[in-house]
Structure 1
């Protein structure tokens, strides 16, 4: 994976939190001949957990909240860093990064980490507008790099003439589970069920509450590891789901030792890091059956709360053993590193 010289990449995002934060720090931690610089904010998710790791990024700068100011600051960052490629992330970051790259004639890679027109918590009119904005900006991308196969398909549909690549989400040391069959041996007799992530409309808390109501009658205890919207959090707690709030890495490691099952509910998604993290932790996992997660084994997908609980019991019995290897064969660090470097080289015009 050598290019003959070290490339410089400038990451641009206004959503440095959650899965985007995990993904960007994952890119920066890869063993590649790439310097990673970042201009960022957590405009949509301001909290104390979002500061970039200074050990991973060569430079870190703050992205202003105003749209015009953000574009100007990104232009200034490009002129200061002199990157070989700008890597723009998320919806607004995608606009800021691509506009600034155009103004400075810098190649740009764009990764949405979940396209805004896929949202199901907004009107059809807003979704149409977001889709047209994405379509209008797609020609400004030198390469469009979806974080998942489904995201790449959506990017291709916006602009069939664009260059699209899949740079799959991955977690550190994820090669440890590549080509392995996910086994049910990690299950214990304890009926402990967890939902994990930020509490938002995207995470479909209503489905989680329906599952918890049925599961509780069958002896399962339920918790949501994470935090988010105050009203949704209260609804979860009122339904009998214990909400832990955000946990540190050490607290999360302790929590994982005491849970058997994880369910990922979602109304829309990219390819969430939590799925890969739970596979790596060898937790028994079910996911809501949405288009973005079509690569997950059919046996592990559910369409209703009743189906989810039925499959929980089959997992507990050991009679249901989903094969996750098609997912782990793609969503691992080796594939991610190869494709990320290939994108940067191609965008920068380096053979």
Structure 2
């Protein structure tokens, strides 16, 4: 029997950025007993060395929520940290005053641009109704914190929990992947959120003689569109090889239509790869240099990056500053406030 305070993380979509975030929360609050109940997305597993007590559920979303509720009631952890919108539905249940509820949206569902306006309003109404319950909303970006503050009821606290990148063994010479041209990369699931069609259109409009690469996989039609635009798609890769691709690239171009606070950008920055990001409201406040709002504007920014040395250096400098802000120390302090430290 442990005397450590138990923090139970609940994720309906465990993989990718959410998986990486949870692992870093555990690493940066080591005095606590972190546990997991998850519904895996096996294809999105980041394949990292991380071992905590985990309950895996296979089945429907509804079944997962009921199973998670039973597990919470049986375990009675001091803190339940809900990750993303579906797990956030567990806030409808009253687990009693002895269990602290923490909710991290990892990008609110009502920000999605791939569904109807009616659906987005329904998502917002649900979030408004659930955000008046006793809880702490741990937002991962300044934009998400501002959205949470609008929704929050009198019993709701809103805290900023920055995403961070762990120390990466960065070789100043950078372990390059053999290629003849400079390379622009984007990493993530080929999905409406990451907007591969925007990336493809920027690649078409760019006049730079560079290689365009998408690290990841996903929707077959969108993958075909990337290929037609001359973009090389790597498919899903082990995490170590993803890091090698990120570290060897000349530029990371982030084209997502909506976001939380993407960890891949922090990883690229920590590996010394400059970043340009599509300007969308959810990225404001994270410190990354913006390339523009349209594929044409972004293509021009990419061309300028490779032809204008002062712009290249400015982009690199702003990218380096983003790493210094998003540190393990900053996240550790935020987690101490959020979870309350040891029992």
Candidates 250, 272, 282, aligned match of 1:282: 272
For the 8 Å contact 1:110–1:143, the answer to whether it is kept is yes
Q: Show the 5 A alignment for 1:1-351.
A: 6-42=4-40, 46-50=41-45, 55-57=50-52, 59-96=53-90, 98-100=91-93, 102=95, 106-159=99-152, 161=154, 162-173=156-167, 190-215=181-206, 217-297=207-287, 299-316=289-306, 317-320=308-311, 321-322=314-315, 323-324=318-319, 327-345=322-340
Distance (Å, rounded) in 2 between the aligned partners of 1:307 and 1:234: 23
For the 8 Å contact 1:36–1:56, the answer to whether it is kept is no
For the 8 Å contact 2:272–2:320, the answer to whether it is kept is no
Deviations 1:180-238 (CA, angstroms, capped at 9, x unpaired): xxxxxx9x9942111111111011112101111122x4211111000111111111112
Distance (Å, rounded) in 2 between the aligned partners of 1:127 and 1:70: 23
TM norm structure 1: 0.85
For the 8 Å contact 1:28–1:56, the answer to whether it is kept is no
TM norm structure 2: 0.86
Distance (Å, rounded) in 1 between the aligned partners of 2:246 and 2:332: 28
Distance (Å, rounded) in 2 between the aligned partners of 1:255 and 1:165: 34
Q: Structure 1 221/272 Cα, relative in aligned 2: closer, same or farther at 3 Å?
A: same
Unaligned runs of 5+ in 2: 171-175
For the 8 Å contact 1:38–1:60, the answer to whether it is kept is yes
Q: Which stretch shows the higher mean deviation, 123-132 or 202-211?
A: 202-211
Distance (Å, rounded) in 2 between the aligned partners of 1:126 and 1:209: 27
Unaligned runs of 5+ in 1: 177-185
1:74 counterpart SS class: helix
Deviations 1:36-64 (CA, angstroms, capped at 9, x unpaired): 1000013xxx334438878432x211235
Query: In the TM superposition, what is the alpha-carbon distance from 1:65 to its structure 2 partner?
Result: 3.4
Distance (Å, rounded) in 1 between the aligned partners of 2:58 and 2:47: 16
